[in-house]
Structure 1
Amino acid sequence: MARYRGPKAKIARKFGEAIEGHSKALQKKNYPPGQHGRGRRKKQSEYAIQLQEKQKAKYIYGVLERQFAKMFDIASRKQGITGENLLQLLEARLDNIVYRLGIAPTRRGARQLVSHRHILVNGELVNIPSYTVKPGDIVSVRERSKSLEAITNSLAGRGASKFPWLEWDNSSLAGKVVSTPTRDEIPENIKEQLIVELYSK
């Protein structure tokens, strides 16, 4: 399976929530996509609910199946709650940090900025979206990329930081990862326990 690049509205309708940003499609058509969308049976099996939660997490963070399974394996071997460890690993991805700092308006946009070599980590160029950023690392915009319209527009619409685990310096266009986020500091509507149960089968 390749990375999903189709309509965002279709995914929003599939899961019944705007997982890739605001979508008017949910207001107009609040039922799943496809010719059987309206008549689809409401009752789902336990497995279907767990699988749907995993698929939702994959779509939100833009992670493929093999990457996701590998991250779950790492999360399960770490100390602490497996589900929370998994979300912390997903949040620590470089493309997600770029998005959370407001350098890009979406994770798709953040992934493109990283892969097109516009982002530095601790002063070094990193073009791998899945790169794991650690507490203490500084993520910044490359000097020659600071005037890019996509970046300036995104930062212009950036309000005060909503994430206490991140610090942003507007003068240098650089952000610091202060700490690993707790579950309360991760706003995504993901029931991570269902994903743990799915992988435990």
Structure 2
Amino acid sequence: MSDRQYILFYKPYGVLCQFTDDSASPRSTLKEYIEIPNVYSVGRLDFDSEGLLLLTNDGQLKHHLIDPQFEHSRTYWVQVEKVPTEEALQQLREGVTIQGYRTKKAIVTRLENEPDLPARNPPIRFRANIPTAWIELTLTEGKNRQVRKMTAAVGFPTLRLVRVAIAHLRLDDLEVGKWRMLTDYELQELRAKVLPRRLR
């Protein structure tokens, strides 16, 4: 276990969840922020999404966190265009159909106040005649661009998306673009939540 690494990172907007980019116009990658070798992100956050990313070289833990059969939670704060109706929120809770796939039940609440988050760079486009609102959405699956597709499906497109928790791990006081190692207690709790007893 001593060679295992477990890192929490606050991914900024406009950064790929990988360490290299071979495209014709290379974009920012994790290499610019994290100098620990041979760690890989557990799941992904889109280039245009922000928030909590867990990186590790523990393949067993990674598998149990990202395989949908184990249904581990991820929580997002989502700024949407317009103010969602209770009917739309209930649709998200019950599951919506996106590209022929029915999403699993989700926990969804509308946030009464805008969450205390660092300003995004660049900021979202402001339109004075169209209000926005924030919702908290907890999923137990992670399809490609799922949150954005879900809110669009009920008529409230996502403007800003920030992952604030993976299981019990939260952003808390982590600053944008910064990372830290999991504490021993956090790791023990994560392994207890994620792994079957025989593998802890």
| TM, length-normalised to structure 2 | 0.27
Point out which structure has higher relative CO (alpha carbons under 8 A, 6+ apart). Answer: 2
Higher helix share: 1
Higher strand share: 2
